[in-house]
Structures are given as structure tokens and as C-alpha cells.
Amino acid sequence: MAVNFTEWLEDHQAIRCVLVEAAISVGGVAVTRYLSSKNYSDGVAGRVYDPIVSSDSINLVERMSVDGQPSMSFGDVELINLDGSIDSWLRDIWVNKNITILIGDVRWLREDFVTIFNGTIEDIDSRSSGTLNIKVRDKLQRLNTPISEARLGGVSANKNELIPLCFGECFNVTPLLSNPATLEYRVHTGSIGASAIEGVIEVRDNGVPVSFAYVESLVKTRFTLSAQPFGQVTCSVQGVNDASAWINTPSKIIKKIVKEYGGVNKFVDADIDLTQLSTFDTANPQPVGVYVESRENTLTVCNQLAASVGAQLVMSRLGKLQLLKIELPPSGTPFAIGETDIIANSINVTNKFPVQAAFKVNYVKNWTVQTGLLTGIPAEHKKMYASEYASVTAEDVTVKADYALDTEPVAVNTLLLKESDAIAEATRLLSIFRNPIVVVSFTGHARLAELTLGQAVTITYPRFGFDSGVTGQVFGLSIDYSNLTVNADVLMALTPNAAPLLSRIMREDGSFLLREDGTYILREDA
């Protein structure tokens, strides 16, 4: 039947019921536990749900972060165990198993219930003698595994070394010496006959270009040198292909990694918001590159890629991976929140971030820093190989003066490759944080259960200067299904971003890119 979920949440005659479906392992056998907060049976499937769920415990938290670090949704499901009848469940395997939480009316069919969470179980424990607690996390938990543990093997001195991985374009990486006898080097895993990577751009010996040949032309992950090197061998590489097309944008690389790397807990298309990632890719086509040569978690690598364009990994309540950005003002049509939506006297400013007058963005990472090269390469090349990053700094001279900010900005490390993209990211960050940024927190009525992370909202309320409405971005959500209230955190700028940026863009060599008529003009600083 067709149900208006928001109206039903506000219906005081509703007989609300929470369903929990946990797919676990019992004695090596896959078992789904069907649990509920009230007596409920699915007449179609013939399932009877065990009414041991405490509805008061269903309070799931979702949150973005200002620093771009992924923030996992979490919560607990409390199970009533007064007689100890489910003590044995502590011996079952719950870790990294799937869990779905739904809410609906006991008079409804199972198919009419609404999923409020689809995620992963961290584990089960006991907080008291009368309860067990299922600790739930979103599916990002599954990415907390090594992206690869494939080792070279064989008999060489490097047999225990991890085979590197290359995604996007990477400058001056150190390849793995896979066969000293044949001077064979490796830059990526990959099987014979597969087009694993786009290819090696160049190979250098202590900074000097040298000739090389692929071991297998279709794979391009291994190459040999024609002569014994006299120094350190490095190379620049274009990495992984996807369906015979080279991929080099954050969204496409992240999608590739979560589906094909990271062990047994890989994502499938059903775990990914494919439409949102495609839209994100169109809006964020900046080329990036990452080289993995040591033991790194899948989540760490993916976060480095996302953070390079100011984004972060987020799982929706339905268990689908998204890439979201802090944006002020946020994109999209704002969801209107008025005084009647907010419980009286619950609104407050809970956090205020310091104003920043400058942002330094590092880009085109040099994966092998080489100082003191003695070869006859140009001096500017020696300087490039001796530095880990190139950098640009966006600075608002008016804000710097008004707030008496003289400190050097903390560098934001990225995997961006182009100076223009680094300038755009530095300018974007400056446009947000040159204003006072606050978190506005409040408790709202059931209608606000429609909100999602990253969404644009306009709050109209007779406090804090919101009388005429101020637009911000949903930063955190917690829905309490026991009393049907929504705790929301909204990120917003107290000063509108309408004033033009009085900014200058500085390169690391001290030259400036000045913004005039919408373009950047290079000049030497006088």
C-alpha cells in the first residue's frame, strides 16, 4: 500500500514497530535473525519476528566532518535478555555482518516498512545482565581493511615486499625491483593478458631519463632496463584502467577501488550510489594520482582521493556510498525549516570555527624525494625532485588585516596534479572559511526525518539573526524513533558569502597570481 511516511510518523494513532534483520554466522552456518520491538509476523513470507528489541535504543547518528575525514554512522540496538535466553548469541559471529533496520506499522506488510538503516555490525556485547547490544556501523567499516596484501614472492631479496598499486597519474614513484637478474621492475599488480594500467610514461636513473621495455605489452605493469642503473630508479606512471579506459578522477578511482580491492569485504553496485557518484564526477573532473607501496587501508586511500577535491566518503542510511563536500552556500534547492518545525528553546550555536585568512594547497606529489642529485639535469629539475610537493596559497588580505592573522597557513596535502586545480581548491576553501562558520543544533519534529547529510536547508527562526532565513548545510543527523524527534546540526556562515574575495594567489617561489576580471594574472611580487 502507498504510505506517506512523514504523515505516518506524525500520526499519533500509528502502532509503530521496529524490525531488525541481522545476517550472521552460527556455527559456520549463515543465519538471519528476525527481531522486532513489538509482536510482528510477515504473513507473506511466514516469518515471525522475535519481539526483544528495545525501541528506545534505535538512535542512529550520521555526521560529516569539517576536516574531510570520513565519519561513520553508528548506534546500538539493545536486545532484552532478562532471562538469559539469548546469552549464547555472544558466541555467534556478528562482526562485519550485514544488518537492516526498518520501521513501520504492525498492521503493515513487511514490504511496506521503510528502511532506516542498512549497514554493518561491528560486534555484539552485553552492557548489563538483562541486555545484549548489537553495535552497528555503516558500511565504511568494511573498508577498514588493507587495500592489498599481495607480495612479490619468488626468490629475490624483495620477495616479501608488497606489490605496489598505481591509480591515476603518479610522478616519480619508486618501482619494485622484482627480478635483479633481468633488471625487471614492477609498478602495479596485474595478471598476464589483462590491461592493468595505462602505462609507464618515463623511467629515470638518478633523475636522468633511460630507455626501458615492457615485459608484457598488454599488462604494462612490469618493465626492464637495458643497462645496470648507477643510482636510484624512479618512473612516472599512468595507472589502472577500467573497461579499457584510463581512469584518473577521484570518483572513478574510488569506485574502482571499493569494488575490486580490499579483500573479502568488497563493495558491489548495490553498495554504491551510482547516480550520485556519476554526478559528482561530472562536477569534479580534476585528475589525481595515488601510489600505494606499503600496507594501507582501503578507507585511508579512498579518503586521500576524496579529500583532494574537498570531499568525504559518506554512507547513506540505505547503505550506499556517496561523496559529499562542505559547501557554503550549499548547492540545490534548500529544505525550508521554520519555527514550528523546531522544538521550543532547543536551538543553539554549539560550535564556532576560527576564521582563516589563507589556505595553502600542495599538489603534484613527488612520490620519491631525491635531494642532492649530482647528475647533469637542469637545476629546476633538481629542485623539483628535491621537493615533495608544489604549492599555491590563496590569501584574503582584508581578512588577514581585520583579524590580525600573521601565521603561515597549514598546508593541505592533495593528490591533485594541476596548478589550476590547486588554485581552485585553495580559493574554494578560502571562500568558505574567511567567514565565521558555526554549527547550529536543534531538535525538530518528525517532518525533519526527510533530511539527509549534505542537504541545503534554510532556517527561519527568531534567534541568532535567522529572522529572515539563513541557508546552511546539514552537517549531522540523529533520529530518535522512540519519541519521533530529529536532532540536527547545520553548518552555516554567519556572514554571507556575497562580498568579493580580496585575494591573491601565491606560488611557492614567491610570485603571485592576481585575480582581475575573473582571470589569474601572473606577475612578480614587487
Q: What share of the chain is helix, strand, coil (3-state, %, to 5)?
A: 20, 40, 40
Of 371, 368, 419, nearest to 394 by C-alpha is 419
Residue with the larger pLDDT of the pair 495 and 158: 158
| Spatial contact of 226 and 185, defined as CB atoms under 8 Å apart | no
- Give me the pLDDT at residue 525, please: 34
Strands 93-105 and 16-26: antiparallel
Residue with the larger pLDDT of the pair 140 and 73: 140
pLDDT per residue as tens digits for the range 362-389: 999 999 999 988 777 888 888 889 999 9
- Give me the pLDDT at residue 512, please: 60
Residue 69 has pLDDT above 80, yes or no: no
Q: What is the pTM of this model?
A: 0.90
pLDDT per residue as tens digits for the range 143-189: 989 999 999 998 889 999 999 999 999 999 999 999 999 999 999 98
Please state the rounded mean pLDDT for residues 389-416. 91
Q: Where are the domains of the chain?
A: 5-137, 139-323, 335-354+435-493, 358-434+500-523
What DSSP letter does each residue of 283-308 carry, written as one string?
H----BEEEE-S--BHHHHHHHHHHT
Tell me the residue type at 512. Answer: F
What DSSP letter does each residue of 77-97 carry, written as one string?
EEEE-TT-TTGGGGGSEEEEE
Residue 225 has pLDDT above 90, yes or no: yes
- Give me the pLDDT at residue 67, please: 73
Reported confidence tier of residue 262, pLDDT bands at 50, 70, 90: confident
CATH code for the part of the protein at 335-354+435-493:
2.40.30
